[in-house]
Structure 1
């Protein structure tokens, strides 16, 4: 069952989205200049996951000024505070803001590079993913 949930989450149908088309070096330089003092991470192979929460859970998330969306990242190209190993997949905390190729969680700005995807996921599916990641939620 858990394997099926993860397989559907990672490989099932999703809405395709585009991130920044700049090269990694250009993105790093631009982010250092524009977001000085703010931790940021440039990512590729990413997926926005809209969590299907119970009403009470969704209200609790929104009370904190957040949205019930997280970002799954397969590859971190560059992390300004080196808190994320480049090769490990991980899931961010809930979305604080999202515009174009910028996804902001409570603690960090993620710059979405290249193509990605977006889909709705159940709590059991995201829990199964968490249990199988080598890196914890960020």
Structure 2
């Protein structure tokens, strides 16, 4: 599969269905503000859970920082508390640090709130790296 097809399949192909939070946008915003986190948070919809194919060496590097070879790509940012992304933008996270409550995807700097349904896919790390 060429690079373009691999990226297209990752972004728009079928995947294993996953369920995120059923909260409405305003509800999710109020919930996250009530948690008073020490990190920023980002509400996202139309998301893809990406299980990364990595080498043993890459897995070891991630493990040293307690991260896992998983990222989220979201087609739709609803709200970003740090103002890095505008509503409607897409976002690709850094690797997973923790996953809580079935919808809070935590990275080293940000908690991503997975709203609505998403899909899960296995992809090559190089394919994810081709998205800006």
TM (norm. structure 2) is 0.92
**Shift in Å at residue 16 of structure 1?**
0.6
Alpha-carbon separation, structure 2, partners of 1:33 and 1:127:
34
Residue 136 of structure 1 corresponds to none
Alpha-carbon separation, structure 2, partners of 1:118 and 1:90:
16
Q: Does 1:43 align with 2:60?
A: no
Q: Does 1:10 align with 2:11?
A: yes
**Shift in Å at residue 63 of structure 1?**
1.0
Residue 120 of structure 2 corresponds to 118
Q: Does 1:82 align with 2:83?
A: yes
Structure 2: gaps of 5 or more residues: none
**Shift in Å at residue 87 of structure 1?**
2.2
Structure 1: gaps of 5 or more residues: 134-138
Query: 1:97-126 deviations in whole A, cap 9, x for unaligned?
Result: 012011001100011100111111012321
TM (norm. structure 1) is 0.88
Alpha-carbon separation, structure 1, partners of 2:97 and 2:33:
21
Q: How many equivalent pairs are there?
A: 130
**Shift in Å at residue 20 of structure 1?**
0.8
**Shift in Å at residue 50 of structure 1?**
0.9
Residue 69 of structure 2 corresponds to 68
RMSD over aligned CA atoms reads: 1.3
Alpha-carbon separation, structure 1, partners of 2:82 and 2:122:
30
Alpha-carbon separation, structure 2, partners of 1:117 and 1:124:
19
Alpha-carbon separation, structure 1, partners of 2:36 and 2:16:
29
**Shift in Å at residue 73 of structure 1?**
1.1
**Shift in Å at residue 36 of structure 1?**
4.3
Q: Contact 2:98/2:105 (CA < 8 Å) preserved in 1? A: yes
